[in-house]
Structure 1
Amino acid sequence: MRILVTGGAGFIGSHLVDRLMEAGHEVLCLDNFYTGTKRNIVKWLNHPYFELIRHDITEPIRVEVDQIYHLACPASPIHYQYNPVKTIKTNVMGTLYMLGLAKRVGARFLLASTSEVYGDPEVHPQPEEYRGNVNPIGPRSCYDAETEILTENGWVPFPQLQPGVRVATLNPDNQVEYHVPDEYIVQPYVGNLLRFANAKFDLCVTPNHWMYVRSKTGKLQFLRADEDRHWHSWRVPTGGEFQGEEPEWFELGTAPKNAKVRVERIRMDDWLEFLGYYISEGCVHVRRRGRVVGGRDYEVADYNILIAQENPEGRAKITHCLNNLGFKFFSSDDHQFRICSKQLAEILCPLGKSGEKYIPRQFLSLSKRQSLILFKALIMGDGSQRGDGYVYYTKSKQLADDVQELAMRCGYAASVVSHAVGRDLYRVNIRPIKDAHLVTPEPFRYAGNVYCVNVQNHVVCVRRHGRVAFCGNCYDEGKRVAETLAFDYHLQNGVEIRVARIFNTYGSRMLENDGRVVSNFVVQALKGEPLTVYGKGSQTRSFCYVSDLVEGLIRLMNNEHTGPINLGNPDEYTILQLAQAVQNMVNPDSEIIFKDLPQDDPQRRRPDITKAKTLLGWQPTIPLQEGLKTTVEDFRDRLTAEGYSLVSS
């Protein structure tokens, strides 16, 4: 049989390759060596039945195989936390490509999933039916149809979001970045949604949605919307830092041949100030009249740009600005400024009349400094200061949206509200950025499509009823997404799948720096360092030796049960018990030290392997003491070869 093993040079993958080669199969080992190493499979490199393919699973590949073991993904905490985006891409794109390959060639596909899909479980031990925090083969976390998302083209309702359009995301440094989503989610939903809403934000999400919130200590993190929390103690971000370009000039283009004043470019700072005055208080008036020249009748047009301003201080600012433009202008007794210029009128006419005004997109991608020039000029026209914030009024819904976005680029938070019932008048409430306290969500019944995207930073800028907040995207863990994809291909395309949920596995060939608890303790003990236990060490885990796991994977692949099926050792140990076992085996004189427990670290993790026993006839056979002994000796040999001075046995 011809078998593909993705991640075949890794810890578990290389042991699986050994078993398959020893059984006489033709094996293709695919790995990009992000966490795998050639030394794990070096003994097979010259074997006629073995082929090594160096390839990144996030890119498609074409091969002919009968079975696919899909193990490619950073599994250790150090590696998947170091590059979480790579992990997500591997789980999503890599799984998609492998499922597509399985569909094309008719191969059976086994997904190596993880016990992490159970989260911090409330059911113990964990059977496959337990959904944990998210049901991996059920609905994804989403927003309702009234939610809008900020894109490079402005605000777009989720149902109208087009593929390839970049959306606003928030990186860990609080900077807004624009990325094309990796995934678009549209799905029907019938059930309760949860609405978090007050005067500053309005979020309406499925119960399993990830909220992006700040704790009292200032730490930002993701919490599920349906968690039992005192939500008033948490805050939601309503703004971020926008980056932008800073052009020096605005190009007007070639002036008409008969123009009395020829201006081809204006300093951008001056143009932005003028544009703000014009959008708020200006218009273009074209007066057409007949004229006789040489006995012939002609129709001529006078192009006038008018800007009104009654406030003496404001008039002085506008006068100074117009002097910098280079066009001739006139000031009348009725508090109007007038510029006669066809060239300028043709640039401003597309901005429309009062109810149609907008800010061209090219001026919504500038630096904060230049954005503030435009913002302050707009406020001087149709706005007013309210305490440490502002209010802006307009008849144009598009302009209200644009002013809101501009205010955000200037470092403010802003909301758009309909100000007058029965007529078009919109108010933009602008305030300094300050995280808004959440409120207890209100459930309400919903039937219709829900929407979301997957983006690089896992945080998107959304708006509902004019109120903006930054919130989580469809942030299912990679393996949950991979399980969803596997079942979708099985149900829609008839692909034969097998899903294994792997619990803590240990053994030879583990990386010394992978951050797993067994390798941490063994390496620390061998080097004579204190063994680090987090919390009190009372949290429990179950440890399965790698040869037992490989046997389970092979049995599942060649069985007729789809899964998911738990593969792990049901013997449960506290972390402190594991530390003491390693201490006694390697160096009884080593010290055990205690550090703070990481947030969201599961308290208990133990598989219910009833299905594996009954359907596969499988259960672990290697006890912890025996497996640890082999693991310690493997680490000792490798560390010695690398020149480390180790504690003698």
Structure 2
Amino acid sequence: MNFVEQRPGEPQQVGYTKERVLVTGGAGFIGSHLCERLLAEGAEVLCVDNYYTGRRDNIRALLDDPSFEVLRHDVTFPLYTEVDRIYNLACPASPVHYQFDPVQTTKTSVLGAVNMLGLAKRLKVPILQASTSEVYGDPAVHPQQEGYWGNVNPIGIRSCYDEGKRCAETLFFDYHRQHRVDIKVVRIFNTYGPHMHPEDGRVVSNFIVQALTGQPITLYGDGTQTRSFCYVDDLVDGLMRMMGSASQTTGPVNLGNPDEFTMRELADMVRELVGSAVPIVHRPLPADDPRQRKPDIATARETLGWTPKVKLREGLGRTIAYFDALLSDAPRGAEMVALSA
């Protein structure tokens, strides 16, 4: 991979030669967008997914590209292949999916990290770990900086994901110190956009599907808890900039949009953009659900020259259009309505 010289603060310009890039979780929400972007930049892409939450529809448009290869594989088992770079995105990321089989979720984070790090060590190639803002738990520091160690319940219902990702980070840095593996660790904050799973239980997809199908919008708690939402194109740009950064840039680096919204503000914006007057119903706040979540992205700005560009209203408009088209497909739409009821 060749990187063009740039001045600080300028956008990273990446010129790919025909490198072979492995993306685990490549049929998932973020992974599918990353695969598409890598192909556009001239890479050969090996997409690995076990389709637990990833969907073939997400990568259908890429299947005829001769530079794109798909392998059905579970990262909890070793993978033997030859690649030049590795993006490790494999893991269910929404509470509905990662709590369904919490033991497997932990295995995916921990054993998946061991197997991908082992591959990177053998091949002597750089590897990027998609970690998460959930490593901060229900934060006592706001906004969250990378130096904050977090406030995580180690035995709660979210622990399979939170602690699994924390352990994966530990493994990445131990492989770096002990085996000199070239690692990159990013902590991804709430991300949204096309290819989100319509039944993933995340707030953006929940609100949009409910509004489009005329169902009441479910608001957990009093609606004053906050999140910061990053559009997927911005997030993918950050991932690629991180992979292209200097070898000494290991992270962790926060990637997210620092614009903060309450859940009630998000619900009202979705209803406005959909043009729906569906009511809002309140439900109890789930256990260990963070009250605040906002990234401090000073490190990403200074190190990667990265700042998200897509505002929430614009990104929601694109995402609503995606779900509207998806729901217009009669058989699939009927199934989604039933599942979200």
TM-score (norm 1): 0.47
Q: Deviations over 1:120-169 (max 9, x none)?
A: 111110000001126xxxxxxxxxxxxxxxxxxxxxxxxxxxxxxxxxxx
Deviation for aligned residue 1:116: 0.2
Which one of 543, 548, 562 corresponds to residue 250 of structure 2?
562
Matching residue of 1:90: 108
Matching residue of 1:587: 275
Which one of 507, 513, 520 corresponds to residue 206 of structure 2?
520
Q: How do 1:378-393 and structure 2 match up within 5 A?
A: none
Note if contact 2:157-2:287 (Cα within 8 Å) is conserved in structure 1: no
> Partners in 2 of 1:41 and 1:476 — Cα distance?
28
Q: Does 1:481 align with 2:149?
A: no
Matching residue of 1:623: 311
Matching residue of 2:80: 62
Letter paired with 2:68? F
Which one of 93, 117, 129 corresponds to residue 99 of structure 1?
117
Q: How do 1:147-158 and structure 2 match up within 5 A?
A: none
Deviation for aligned residue 1:49: 1.1
Q: Deviations over 1:19-68 (max 9, x none)?
A: 00001101100001111111111122222211111111111111111110
Matching residue of 1:185: none
Which one of 504, 510, 515 corresponds to residue 190 of structure 2?
504
Structure 1 stretches of at least 4 aligned residues deviating more than 4 Å after TM superposition: 221-224
Q: How do 1:124-523 and structure 2 match up within 5 A?
A: 124-133=142-151, 210=154, 477-523=163-209
SS at match of 1:563: coil
Q: Deviations over 1:430-458 (max 9, x none)?
A: xxxxxxxxxxxxxxxxxxxxxxxxxxxx9
> Partners in 1 of 2:44 and 2:287 — Cα distance?
44
Q: Does 1:46 align with 2:67?
A: no
Which one of 285, 297, 301 corresponds to residue 597 of structure 1?
285
Deviation for aligned residue 1:587: 3.3
Note if contact 1:528-1:587 (Cα within 8 Å) is conserved in structure 2: no
Gaps of 5+ in 2: 1-18
Structure index of larger Rg: 1
SS at match of 1:515: coil
SS at match of 1:551: helix
> Partners in 2 of 1:495 and 1:26 — Cα distance?
22
Which one of 325, 328, 336 corresponds to residue 640 of structure 1?
328
1:613–1:601 Cα change, 3 Å: same
SS at match of 1:30: strand
SS at match of 1:615: helix
Letter paired with 2:329? A
SS at match of 2:47: strand
SS at match of 1:484: helix
Matching residue of 2:238: 552
> Partners in 2 of 1:642 and 1:109 — Cα distance?
41
Q: Does 1:533 align with 2:228?
A: no
SS at match of 1:110: strand
1:28–1:223 Cα change, 3 Å: closer
> Partners in 2 of 1:638 and 1:498 — Cα distance?
35
Note if contact 1:567-1:612 (Cα within 8 Å) is conserved in structure 2: yes
Deviation for aligned residue 1:476: 6.6
1:223–1:102 Cα change, 3 Å: closer
Matching residue of 1:297: none
> Partners in 2 of 1:632 and 1:71 — Cα distance?
25
Deviation for aligned residue 1:514: 0.1
> Partners in 2 of 1:223 and 1:578 — Cα distance?
23
Note if contact 1:505-1:545 (Cα within 8 Å) is conserved in structure 2: yes
1:476–1:613 Cα change, 3 Å: closer
Q: Does 1:11 align with 2:25?
A: no
Which one of 251, 257, 262 corresponds to residue 574 of structure 1?
262
Deviation for aligned residue 1:600: 1.6
Note if contact 1:16-1:550 (Cα within 8 Å) is conserved in structure 2: yes
Q: Deviations over 1:210-260 (max 9, x none)?
A: 5x7xxxxxxxx5899xxxxxxxxxxxxxxxxxxxxxxxxxxxxxxxxxxxx
Matching residue of 2:5: none
Note if contact 2:135-2:162 (Cα within 8 Å) is conserved in structure 1: no
Q: Deviations over 1:271-328 (max 9, x none)?
A: xxxxxxxxxxxxxxxxxxxxxxxxxxxxxxxxxxxxxxxxxxxxxxxxxxxxxxxxxx
Note if contact 2:158-2:288 (Cα within 8 Å) is conserved in structure 1: no
Structure with greater strand share of residues: 1
Note if contact 2:30-2:236 (Cα within 8 Å) is conserved in structure 1: yes
Q: Deviations over 1:605-643 (max 9, x none)?
A: 000000000000001000000000000010011111144
Deviation for aligned residue 1:96: 0.3
Structure with greater helix share of residues: 2
Letter paired with 1:94? G
Q: Does 1:2 align with 2:41?
A: no
Note if contact 1:117-1:480 (Cα within 8 Å) is conserved in structure 2: yes
> Partners in 2 of 1:38 and 1:520 — Cα distance?
21
> Partners in 1 of 2:132 and 2:65 — Cα distance?
32
RMSD of aligned alpha carbons: 2.0
Letter paired with 1:552? G
Which one of 9, 21, 33 corresponds to residue 51 of structure 2?
33
1:476–1:72 Cα change, 3 Å: closer
Gaps of 5+ in 1: 135-207, 213-220, 225-457, 459-474
Letter paired with 2:104? K
Letter paired with 1:50? F
> Partners in 2 of 1:509 and 1:638 — Cα distance?
10
1:222–1:533 Cα change, 3 Å: closer
Deviation for aligned residue 1:477: 1.1
> Partners in 1 of 2:194 and 2:330 — Cα distance?
16
SS at match of 1:111: strand
Q: Does 1:121 align with 2:103?
A: no
Over the matched positions of the two proteins, sequence identity in percent amounts to: 58
Q: Deviations over 1:405-436 (max 9, x none)?
A: xxxxxxxxxxxxxxxxxxxxxxxxxxxxxxxx
